[in-house]
Structure 1
């Protein structure tokens, strides 16, 4: 039974799609067609049928390849509890996890833009952050990370700062490959490429959304089309989102800073840093 030995556990809007695309080109890594299966978010994976379904996603991995599951739901407490415990029950005993973290306020703004263009959030970031706890919860990185550390220990988790990954991508990929035991020479530098950005992101109309969710697309078209080609076709065929993005007020930014300051400090201590990971904290 083929199951992932690499997890990209998040966080949402912190470069997970770009890392997925970068690692997907490495010949020693196998990804199934859907970037985010979220299989470990449910107890269904603990049943024989659910485990078989999860393993089937990676059945086409070649001998010697390591399968990777990249699902941001794995660091979305309290919405999806118990993920580390399920992972330790079903995955190989030595599986590793990569956790991408981004300036927590910038991540929240990007999440809101993503959800706003998808029709899942209202236009006011200030209103959303005060009424929808998920925005702040998903940016409490240390709180999200702690259950993983308890489950598998620090040595099997790599925390990568989004800003380092974006600004020094080859160096970041060398560090990631070293952590995973992969040959970094197989990584092709695509430093200028960024995927899944909210600004200018293609908008899914109802027709396109239905087509994407159809059985024909998911079972026939998607598995045969490489991830990079899917991104390119989607960008060519779908209308682009408007460039005007909702703004976060100064008051909203200060509110978020107060809410997240303690968690940023805790994560900085976890990483043995003498100062916070990001300015303003």
Structure 2
């Protein structure tokens, strides 16, 4: 029964969809039809039926393929806990995790825009980041990484800085492929397309959602269309998000910097390098200059 031996665990709005698509076309890689199965978020995966449903995503994987699960819900503590413990119980020995991190406040701004477009929150980011603790929690990358590093060890966890991915995409992807044991063929780095940007993202409606959940789509159409093609069709067919939201005030930026500063410093010490994020100059980053 094939199961993932690579997890792209997040962070949300840090480029995971684009990275997922860069890996998708590589020889020897197999990605689930659903980009984010989130199977490890529930104890259901520990039952025979739940584990079989999870494995069904990889039933068509060639023998020896690197199977990948990209679910940003795997780095959303404290809303989702116990992920790594479930992974350790059901996944193949030696499985690896990939975690993308982005300037913490830029990620929060993108998450807010994404959730506003989806109708989850209101348009005022100054209010929403104080009402919903998840914005700060999901940007506490050292906190999110802690259980993964404790369970897997640093040799099986790769942290990718979003800014490096954007500025040196081919080099970053080639390095990741080496970490995963995949050849950097087909021109490592793939196309420069960015997927799942909050601004201009396809906006689904009730009819599209009903179509995607229909038995005809899930049984016949979805298996014939790889993830990259499905995303391309969504961009072509669905309306695009056009909302322009006011940026956070300086007071809110100061609030977020104070909330996140210690975590950034801890992450830099964990990784042994500066993350070079403006507004988060730490003793580690200062020493490197």
TM-score, with structure 2 as normaliser? 0.94
- State the distance in 1 between where 2:221 and 2:255 align: 45
Q: Deviations over 1:154-185 (max 9, x none)?
A: 11000000110111100101110111111112
Q: Deviations over 1:229-278 (max 9, x none)?
A: 111211111111115234211111111000000000000000112x4441
Q: CA shift at 1:206, angstroms?
A: 2.0
Structure 2 partner of 1:279: 278
- State the distance in 2 between where 1:189 and 1:262 align: 33
Which blocks of at least 5 consecutive residues in structure 1 are unaligned? Answer: none
- State the distance in 2 between where 1:129 and 1:276 align: 23
- State the distance in 1 between where 2:155 and 2:189 align: 27
Contact (CA 8 Å) 1:30, 1:65: kept in 2 or not?
Answer: yes
Structure 1 partner of 2:76: 76
Structure 2 partner of 1:205: 205
Measured at CA, do residues 262 and 191 of structure 1 come closer, stay the same or move farther in structure 2, by a change above 3 Å? farther
- State the distance in 1 between where 2:238 and 2:227 align: 16
Structure 1 partner of 2:241: 241
Structure 2 partner of 1:226: 226
Which blocks of at least 5 consecutive residues in structure 2 are unaligned? Answer: 281-289
Q: Deviations over 1:76-96 (max 9, x none)?
A: 001110000001100011101
Q: CA shift at 1:189, angstroms?
A: 3.7
- State the distance in 2 between where 1:34 and 1:187 align: 25
Structure 1 partner of 2:60: 60
Partner SS, residue 4 of structure 1: coil
- State the distance in 2 between where 1:188 and 1:52 align: 33
Structure 1 partner of 2:287: none
TM-score, with structure 1 as normaliser? 0.96
- State the distance in 1 between where 2:13 and 2:147 align: 21
Q: CA shift at 1:27, angstroms?
A: 1.6
- State the distance in 2 between where 1:206 and 1:96 align: 37
Partner SS, residue 184 of structure 1: coil
Q: Deviations over 1:16-68 (max 9, x none)?
A: 10011110101211011100000001111111111111111101001121110
- State the distance in 2 between where 1:266 and 1:245 align: 31
Q: CA shift at 1:8, angstroms?
A: 0.3
Partner SS, residue 136 of structure 1: helix
Structure 2 partner of 1:85: 85
Q: CA shift at 1:191, angstroms?
A: 4.7
- State the distance in 2 between where 1:189 and 1:170 align: 4
Tell me whether 55-64 or 178-187 shows the greater mean CA deviation: 178-187
Structure 1 partner of 2:118: 118
Q: Is 2:215 the counterpart of 1:215?
A: yes
Tell me whether 129-138 or 49-58 shows the greater mean CA deviation: 49-58
Partner SS, residue 8 of structure 2: strand
Partner SS, residue 59 of structure 2: coil
Contact (CA 8 Å) 1:6, 1:67: kept in 2 or not?
Answer: yes
Aligned structure 1 segments of 4 or more residues deviating by more than 3 angstroms: 186-191
